[in-house]
Amino acid sequence: MEDTEIYNKLSIINVKNKLNLEERYAKGDNIYVTCPFCYEGNQSNMKLNVTNDSYYCRMCGESGFAIGLYAKIKYINNKVAYKRLIQEEAEMQTELKEIRKSVRKQDEEISLVYEYFLKMLGLNKKHYNMLQELGFSKEDIVKYSFKSIPQRENEKTEICNKLIKSGFDLQGIPRILS
């Protein structure tokens, strides 16, 4: 079995189709479907990310990856879900035309971007104090290079813009969840 065939069988699009999740709309790398867990009417949009094959619902907080979603809905464990998905044909069609899937960069390039990203970060006072409360000494905090990831969108955007100005193409670089 080829890598592409395996990827398609384990992809979030195939899982969506196998579970008959109702597509609502697409935006960028995301397909929004009716959440199968919370059933909050028009509010229950579960986001399926086709780049990293993950899912997340803001309403109920359910999140994870394609195999786990399949397992949870089918009431089986991940190992059984994996085996079932691998054995069946992939169903990769979607009604939505707007989906654009990013091609993930090579690990070396991702590592380089993350390295520069970390160099741009500092450690805020709140996190510094929390680390000390957890028993880290000042020397340990410096030694392990602890950092604080910004929580505000404008700060995140600013860092991304700096990386782009430094010559990095961020297309295909996985996001750091925070």
Q: CA torsion sign, 104 to 93 to 81 to 20?
A: positive
The string of pLDDT tens digits covering residues 106-157 is 888 888 998 999 899 999 999 999 999 999 999 999 999 999 988 888 888 8
Say how many domains are in the chain: 2
Is 92 part of a structural domain of the chain?
Answer: no
- Provide the residue range defining the domain that includes 55: 3-87
Do both 60 and 8 map to the same domain?
A: yes
Residue 70 DSSP one-character state: H
Same domain, 130 and 160: yes
pTM exceeds cut of 0.75 = no
Longest dimension (CA), the chain: 56
Check whether residue 130 and residue 62 sit in a common domain: no
The span from the CA of 85 to the CA of 11, in Å, is 9
Q: Is 104 exposed, middle or buried (0-12, 13-18, 19+ CB in 10 A)?
A: middle
